[in-house]
Structure 1
Amino acid sequence: MTDQQPEQSARATIDIMLAQAGWAVQSKKEVNLSAADGVAVREYWTDTGPADYVLFVQRKPVGVIEAKRVEEGERLTTHEDQAEYYAAATLQYKLNKEPLPFIYESTGILTRFTDRRDPKPRSRPIFHFHQPKILLEWLGQKESLRARLQHLPGLSPEGLRPAQITAIANLEKSFQENRPKALIQMATGAGKTFTACTFVYRLLKHAEAKRILFLVDTRNLGEQAEQEFLKYQPVDDNRKFTELYNVQRLNSGYIASDAQVCISTIQRLYSILQGQELAEDLEQENPNEQGWQWRKKEPMPVAYSARNPIEQFDFIIIDECHRSIYNLWKQVLEYYDAFLIGLTATPDKRTFGFFHENVVSEYTYEASIIDGVNVPYDVFTIETAISRDGATIQAQEYIERRGKLTRSERWQHLDEEYRYSPTKLDKDVVNPSQIRTIIRAFRDSLPTIFPDRFDGQGVFEVPKTLVFAKTDSHADDIIQAIREEFSEGNDFCKKITYTITEDPKSVINRFRNSWAPRIAVTVDMIATGTDVKPLEVLLFLRDVKSSNYFEQMKGRGTRTVNFDDLKKVTRTAKHTKSHFVLIDAVGAVKSKKTDSRPLERKPGVPLKDLLAAAAMGAQDEDLFTSLANRLIRLDKKLTDREKERFTELSQGKSLNSIARDLLAGYDPDIIEMISTQVREGNPVTDPVTDLAANPAAQERAVAQQLEQMRSQAASVFTGELNQYLENVRKIHEQIIDTVNIDTLLRAERDSYSTEKAEEVMRDFSEYIAAHKDEITALAIFYDQPYRRRDLTFAMIKEVLEKLQLERPLLAPHYVWDAYAQLEEVKERSPKEALVALVSLIRRVTGIDQQLTPYNKTVDKNFQDWVFGKQAGALKFTEEQMDWLRMLKDHICSSFHVAMDDLDFTPFDAQGGRGKMYQLFGDGMGDILDELNERLAA
């Protein structure tokens, strides 16, 4: 027996928890082991004294519970030896021959569990007691899950990148060490979901995991994960994953008993544990970036669900775990007795802390670029006067107002001066000139940024571009401006948000795989997680304060794509995607970023954030009070028709009645009334405790009724209603500023820092020097100048291909920009990467003292050669000069001209080698040799 009996309230709570989990709780005087599959007997006698609880499943003893006072929660681990002592004891009537395998220590608030069948058994915290049927199932297995994890076979590297192999191997080692949490940090585009599919398959097949949860925070990401599992095929089986295992993407509260992989948003998982249905539109936006994270003093409340017990999942994979959802949803994640695996490209300090600093993979964006998994990016800045400074509309002007909801327009006389800052743009004020000026600068800059994207008729092909807008209304304004400025139709530019009438997935698919649309405008839907590999331009028309979210948005452009796939959607592409361009029109690159976006409890919190928090079940008093006050004020501004529409969407309730319900949830008089009813009402009896005689049980009953009342008050806030309220909030209209005409201040590529430029120059020089003995072209440049006349297009292409494969960050135009930052470089980087590369190699090897485009060098050498040849009696005819210029141009782009080249373009159209012989006679061979030698000097 324990030295001191547990407090009665702690014992009563344990009894309730056992009953909730399906255990029949009995006293030692009234034992009936046939009363249920699972029986928990209090004070059951052993040869070392009475154990607090002995657990029986189908009449067989399986475990013990050591009950302790609530005050001993922090010292619960110190009682493990005592619990082990009772588990190893012989039960009355010698019902056990061996120690009992399952051991619990509990205060009723904190509970720890040990499975003695595990290798190196270690206690772990659990939310609740396990159900009897799972303990029976575990006993029927030859080994425990943690024991089975010790025997995972070696990982086949087939089809996996080195970073994926490392991540899986280290993760499985973490499992074998029985670490409860692990973090996989892997750059966007590096294949996190494919990695997850691989280790999920191995856990199901080799560790016989029962069920695995893949947790996301938006429906879009859930659909993408489902597609990854649908197309995943293991290397050791000819069947697809879904032919071997059942995958269920949850879209209701039902979790199939035969589902081995479940995909769910954390919003839906919480609603399932609450026993409530969740509208699908509440899964559209992620809980962190869209303000659903109403910061509470405590995590979201979670109660035990017998339909969804803690043992429901063996492993939980948390996709995009950097979004800090664990701050608000910590209990949701830790409700389950499962291993937690985080996937993210952009962890922060809290991410590392949550996963106990157990980082099993660190694969950065920079490393992925070096490996050729991702591509780097350039920054191009567009700045306008109004974007930077805002503007003033003078009094007495006639201004246009536009309804946010209907977009209907009307004119109004402005009584006083109206000054607006850049932060009000596209929210309270729309300046069409500002949007048009940015789009026009974007349009005019594209040929400079992508000079090789003209077709045979001189028509420029716009690269696949994704534009980030502030709101749906802003997106509509941008689309209109793009279609007008580019003189294109509807298919050229499309909106991709959850609010469009067309299926968003269909538009994304066309954007990804078809020529049109060329430009897509989004707010949040494809800001994270969605792959569109041919994307080459990201245009930011909204600022982002979250550093993690900004990195995720940039990740939309990092994906590599092979040349054939790029060519299918971008017909003028001359080579594979080597980089993408981030066009910053709002200062997003340089604006101050934070690791998170905490919501302070103050009147300035956006209504959208309050509505989303209420819809997701947050019940903070400040939230309810703030939201009620907003609704009361809004009620005075709505028209009769708008109020009617609101009532239709709110289950027949008015704004004021909903506000009253919200305020009632924390009304002291109502709380006192409920408490009195519980104390003085008819006694309610649970399976083991008389409510009227138990203060702790009374407190729980009051809390339960308040929880129910508050949930009912918030239940009206569906996605459709929230969107409607957001549209009609505060001022119904936006001011359309047609008075102030914007001006472009600058549109240019951002420069390197001096330190970065020096680093790039140094890395390029070292790379060229390191490979001079193994690459023919480099050997010629370094040590065999007499052979420069033999330098061929194929030789230079070999250098470029090796550079792209091994050091993609040293792309020629990047290195050129670095030199231009530190030296006087009169010319811009040549359009052709090969020409730029030869120019750079000549500079690095000392042939040229100043970085000069190779074609300019050839032009100069050609002029000197022609002048020298004609210094005497020899004079070239005009027809001969035309041929010599053709030969010179060929050397500019191909670095060498051979006799066989005369049979092809452009020479064949002018008569080929026969014509050259006619012009130069037997000396034509000498002419070719001289040009190759002198022009490459």
Structure 2
Amino acid sequence: MAEPNQNPEQQARDRIDDRLRQAGWEVQGKTETNITVALGVALKEYSTDVGPADYVLFVDRKPVGIIEAKREDEGHRLTLVEEQSQGYATAKLKYINNAPLPFVYESTGVLTRFTDRRDPKPRSRPVFSFHRPETLQAWLRTDRPLRTRLLDFPALDTTGLRECQTRAIQNLEHSFQENRPRALLQMATGSGKTVTAITSVYRLLKFAKAKRVLFLVDTKGLAEQAEQEFMTFTPVDDNRKFTELYNVQRLKSRYMATDSQVCISTIQRLYSILKGEDLDETVEERNPNEMMQPKAPMPVVYNPSIPIEFFDFIVIDECHRSIYSLWKQVLDYFDSFLIGLTATPDQRTFAFFNENVVSEYTHEEAVTDGVNVGFDVYTIETEITQKGSRLVAREFVDKRDKMTRKRRWEQLDEDLTYSGKQLDRDVVNPSQIRNIIRTFRDKLPEIFPHRKEVPKTLIFAKTDSHADDIIQMVREEFGEGNAFCKKVTYQSKEDPKSVLAQFRNDYYPRIAVTVDMIATGTDVKPLECLLFMRDVKSRNYFEQMKGRGTRTLGEDDLKKVSPSVISRKTHFVIVDAVGVTKSLKTNSRSLERKKGVPLKDLMMGVMMGAQDEDAFISLAGRLARLEQQLEPRERERLGQMTGGLSAGQIAKALLNAYDTDTIADKARLDGGLASTAEPSPGAIANAQQDLIRVAASAFTGEVIDFIENVRRVHEQIIDTVNLDRVTAVGWDAQARDRAMHLIQDFTSFMERHKDEITALKIYYNQPYQRRDLTFQMIREVLTILKTEKPTLAPLSVWQAYELVEGKKAGTPISELTALVALIRKVVGIDQELTPYEGTVNRNFQQWVFQKQAGAAPKFTEAQMEWLRMVKEHMISSFHLERDDLDYAPFDAQGGLAKMYQLFGDMMDGLIDEMNEALAA
């Protein structure tokens, strides 16, 4: 440890010595040289033919590198002394006939730069500390260093990869080859970021021989999801699963297996591991972006069990929210390539990754390519949501305990006026919730016109209590039981992961209510509707929440949970009941500590290692006030969770951590000093750290949740007096604009292909041949649509016509029949959009009437039954061939022979007539 009265040069040397010893080096001066005493030995002032080198590094008695030491105030000049460092690295060492040394450091003991001279284009880079001797030894055993091996990627096999994934992987590998330390992949939610990353990780391990890769997330749920993705991933060049080829470990404690080639961890857990501490698992359930980022967090220090070179590459999922302030220390610690994954970067994200964006794939591009589905907005506005309401003095109202939900009847002492923002926090108006849910129920046939069941819907609530109120109202208004609507929050009594799996894979629940557990990062592909009953101020967070609905899903898979669908998932709908789509959004939530920091943020910051005196004092003051407000049962409950500590005792511990007398007394006690003795600065610092740890140990996720709940207003007023009313409902103006553009795009597509696609040629140019249209011809149009313009899904265009024309057109029985009806509308055969089955039924009635009106013999009832069967076949298959009579449904009724028996020689003529008449 450097002493304050030393000269700057010596202070720097002492810091460097410290760092070297931490990294496993034996540091020796001239007079104590013994390079056999340890694997790694750092010799000071070693003579060379160009003068003495500050440090020469020996591994297994062989010189491998040098360190050029500089004063701390010369940190900004480290890159200017690289030529001097290189001179020592290429010099001849005294007594040794050495080759040039490959490893070069410049260091002040605070800042350190490193160059591996074996790299293709050697370039210095900042490192947190020195590499371990074992690491340099291992590097020297390989003929080609990592950055050379990165030049050897074989061509990418693109089987099973989307174009955006292929481009991202190829550009990322090019970035590695240029030795760019940080790279950002911006890929829309649902476009396969994780699969892209795993494919890249596989290639890094197999072809670049990377030693270890870290997959870093910021919530436990995302860690579990990533683990599943690695377990199910099968590379295209090997039929074994990824986890059969490489060891994958999801970190659940401080233990990190040295033979793991992929580690999956939350950034919170990795931070605690570097500090050598255990972690309360509840911390991993929260997005760290929602925590207070302390002004003076506990700094990361060198950890010998996890050296800076432990990971060659770090993949940071959802990097837009986990790379700043407290968490940035974790990333700065490792000497690794950093790869960021996000759908919603902001300016800070671009800056952190040095503006090296190797992939830009937006939601709009993903929708155009059919990778994602787009959305429309349906608005529900109520009077009380917009304006709030008023309760007059002496009115009797219910008051409900937030925690127990126990009610009591009380008379108001004075008028109470509340705003819409106070709803569901201070005041609950059941009529407001009921009107939104009832309107949503009644308008579902308009929002999803072709459904028998409620589409899978996710409702975003403000609080856990608000979620409970919504669930009760949903079950009542839809007349359904418990299975129909469930809560998916961290506080729900039923296992949230189990409920989430049911929501994803089973018929029930149809509706899930959440606060923030599945607002980001969680896939529920069958999800088709997001009902917002809370506002969101962060633009990034809102984009992430919307991302829950963007996943595509095929018709067969969607039918498993929503049986009445007649096509794949084509879009999703945002039902906006609080103005979330119109409210002002900020680029991101501020991560810096400010005055008025919420109590929960202060507690989370202290738990996560904040050492900000202001935070400790502020938190102590608030807990002291809370102590006076707690009821006996609440004090008892808090004591059970904290090992007997009260809120006041916790506050005292926080104050003690920065009380100079308390710190000095503890330092004397720890050192066995007399009460009048003056402890050393080191003893004072150690004593204070112990007091900080003691104060912070009282805070766990459970304790924080409890305090956060009881410190709020204990009771909510239930306003059953003021009834709400819906003031506006319907598609927003932008939805109508999007619908018009969709119709125009569909019309343009048809026009553009009318001379290429057989079915369109017939409709546009050869109407007399409509009788020859076949199922395969119509299927060809749909296939080309899906390939070239997936946004023009027939049911999406159908709904666009209904929205623009303001009336229901009926329900098509399939995508193909919807497509035929749309083509007829575009070409001008039909003036109004009509389901194809309606057109066929109308034409069939007219044809039969004409046939029956003449003097010829009338059809018998047996013949009519057969003709109706032909008509039903033509509704779904568009055309009847003689051979079709040998298949269902005709074969069960006697097939071709039976029809000939019924109609004789008229059979073939009738088939031709019906093909022409019904397709008219």
Please provide the CA RMSD for this pair.
3.6
2:367 paired residue number: 369
Aligned 1:343-742 pairs, distance under 5 A: 343-453=341-451, 460-598=452-590, 601=593, 604-667=596-659, 706-742=688-724
More deviation in 131-140 or 878-887? 878-887
- Out of 90, 93, 100, the residue aligned to residue 91 of structure 1 is 93
CA contact (8 A) 2:641 2:703 kept: yes
Paired residue secondary structure (2:784): helix
Looking at structure 1, the residues matched to 884 and 249 of structure 2 have their Cα atoms a distance apart, in angstroms, of: 61
The letter for the 2-side match of 1:625 is: I
Query: Do 1:760 and 1:810's aligned partners in 2 also have CA atoms closer than 8 Å?
Result: yes
State how far apart, in whole Å, the 2-side matches of 1:516 and 1:830 are: 25
From 731, 750, 775, give the equivalent of 1:768.
750
Distance 1:910 1:35 in 2: 96
Instruction: Tell me whether 1:283 sits opposite 2:280 in the alignment.
Output: no
Structure 1 residue 559, shift from structure 2 partner = 2.0
Summarize deviations over 1:754-787 as a string: whole Å, max 9, x none.
7645543442233222322332211111211221
2:745 counterpart SS class: helix
Q: Does 1:800 align with 2:798?
A: no
Deviation readout 1:659-710 (Å, 9 max, x if unpaired): 233234445777899999999999xxxxxxxx97xxxxx5x87666544433
Counterpart of 1:685? none
Alpha-carbon distance, 1:471 to partner = 1.9
CA separation in 2, counterparts of 1:333 and 1:921? 84
Q: Which moved more, 1:265-274 or 1:783-792?
A: 783-792
Are residues 850 and 825 of structure 1, via their aligned partners in 2, closer, same or farther at CA, if it must alter by over 3 Å? farther
Contact 1:101 1:116 in 2 (8 A): yes
Shift of 1:841: 2.3
Secondary structure, counterpart of 1:49 in structure 2: coil
Contact 1:326 1:333 in 2 (8 A): no
Aligned equivalents of 2:317 and 2:798: distance in 1? 39
Separation in 2 of the partners of 1:23 and 1:910?
Answer: 90
Describe the shift of the 1:168–1:300 C-alpha distance in structure 2 as closer, same or farther (beyond 3 A). farther
Instruction: Tell me the distance in 2 between the aligned counterparts of 1:402 and 1:374.
Output: 43
Once residues 302 and 130 of structure 1 are traced to their aligned partners in structure 2, the CA distance between those partners, rounded to angstroms, is 17
* 1:542 counterpart SS class: coil
Aligned to 2:4: none
For 1:6-155, list aligned pairs within 5 A. 7-94=9-96, 96-155=97-156
**Greater shift in the superposed pair: 897-906 or 499-508:** 897-906
Counterpart CA distance in 2 for 1:853 and 1:573 is 16
Moved more, 12-21 or 27-36: 27-36
Asked whether the 8 Å contact 1:401–1:409 carries over to 2, the reply is: yes
Corresponding residue pairs, total? 908
Q: Distance in 2 between matches of 1:908 and 1:136?
A: 78
Q: Give the aligned residue type for 1:537.
A: C
**Cα offset for 1:918?**
11
Code of the residue aligned with 1:420 in structure 2: it is Y
Deviates more, 1:135-144 or 1:376-385: 376-385
Deviations 1:140-161 (A, max 9, x none): 2222111222222222223333
Give the drift of 1:231: 2.0
Question: What does 1:326-345 align with in structure 2 at a 5 Å threshold?
Answer: 326-345=324-343
Shift of 1:558: 2.0
**In structure 2, distance between residues paired with 1:602 and 1:161:** 44
SS of the residue corresponding to residue 95 of structure 2 reads: helix
| Distance in 2 between residues matched to 1:424 and 1:489, nearest whole Å | 30
Q: Which amino acid aligns with 2:700?
A: T
Kindly indicate whether the alpha-carbon contact (under 8 Å) linking 1:816 and 1:829 is maintained by their aligned counterparts in 2: no
1:271 Cα deviation from its structure 2 partner? 0.7
Q: In structure 2, the residue corresponding to 1:636 is in which secondary structure?
A: helix
Matched residue SS, 1:207: coil
Could you tell me how far apart the structure 2 residues matched to 1:513 and 1:364 are?
28
Q: Separation in 1 of the partners of 2:240 and 2:793?
A: 41
The one-letter code matched in structure 2 to 1:364 is: T
Q: Could you say what secondary structure the match of 1:801 adopts?
A: helix
Q: Give yes or no for contact 1:470–1:523 (8 Å, CA) kept in 2.
A: yes
Once the two structures are overlaid, the 10-residue window that deviates more, 58-67 or 759-768, is 759-768
CA distance in 2: counterparts of 1:421 and 1:904, whole angstroms: 67
Deviation at 1:122, TM superposition (A): 0.7
What secondary structure is seen at the aligned counterpart in 2 of 1:109? coil
* CA shift in 2, pair 1:670/1:51, >3 Å: farther
- The one-letter amino acid paired with 1:241 is F
Please, which runs of 5 or more residues in structure 1 have no aligned partner? 454-459, 683-690, 693-697
**Amino acid of the residue matched to residue 207 of structure 1?**
A
Task: Report deviation, 1:78.
Answer: 0.8
Give 2:182's aligned residue: 181
Distance 2:339 2:523 in 1: 22
- 1:115 CA displacement: 0.8
CA offset at residue 724 of structure 1? Answer: 0.8
Alignment-derived partner of residue 456 in structure 1:
none
The structure-2 alpha-carbon separation of the partners of 1:108 and 1:677, relative to structure 1 and needing over 3 Å to count, comes to: farther
Equivalent position amino acid for 1:402 in 2: R
* Aligned-partner Cα distance in 2 for 1:248–1:330: 23
Q: CA deviation at 1:282?
A: 0.9
Output the CA distance in 1 between the equivalents of 2:592 and 2:180.
35
How far off is 1:592 after superposition? 1.9
Identity, % of aligned positions: 63
For the structure 1 residues 43 and 828, does the alpha-carbon distance in structure 2 shift closer, same or farther, using more than 3 Å as the test? same
Q: TM-score, normalised by structure 2?
A: 0.90
Aligned to 1:315: 313
Partners of 2:388 and 2:418 within 8 A in 1: yes
SS at match of 1:93: coil
The question of whether the paired residues in 1 share the 8 Å contact of 2:570 and 2:796 is answered with no
What is the 5 A alignment of 1:713-862? 713-752=695-734, 756-757=738-739, 759-816=741-798, 818=800, 827-828=808-809, 830-832=811-813, 833-847=815-829
Secondary structure in 1 matching 2:524: coil
Is the 1:300–1:332 contact (alpha carbons within 8 Å) kept by the matching residues of 2? no
Shift of 1:874: 9.8
* 2:223 is the counterpart of 1:222: yes
Amino acid in the other structure paired with 1:529: G
Who is 1:695 aligned against? none
AA partner of residue 144 (structure 1): P
> What's the secondary structure of 2:720's corresponding residue?
coil
The CA distance in 1 between the partners of 2:98 and 2:176, in whole Å, is 31
CA separation in 2, counterparts of 1:915 and 1:604? 85
Does the Cα contact within 8 Å between 2:467 and 2:514 map onto a contact in 1?
yes
The Cα of 1:725 is off from its aligned counterpart by 0.6
> Structure 2: which 5+ runs fail to align?
1-6
Q: Which amino acid aligns with 2:46?
A: Y
Secondary structure at 1:9 match in 2: helix
Displacement of 1:337? 0.4
Q: Which moved more, 1:175-184 or 1:362-371?
A: 362-371
| 8 A contact 1:294–1:623 mirrored in 2 | no
Distance 1:724 1:827, change over 3 A: closer
Match of 2:293 in 1: 294
Q: Tell me the amino acid that sits aligned with residue 822 of structure 2.
A: L
Distance in 2 (CA, whole Å) between partners of 1:616 and 1:439 is 40
Aligned residue in 2 for 1:457: none
The alpha carbon displacement at 1:463 in A equals 2.4
Using the TM superposition, name which of 336-345 and 36-45 deviates more.
36-45
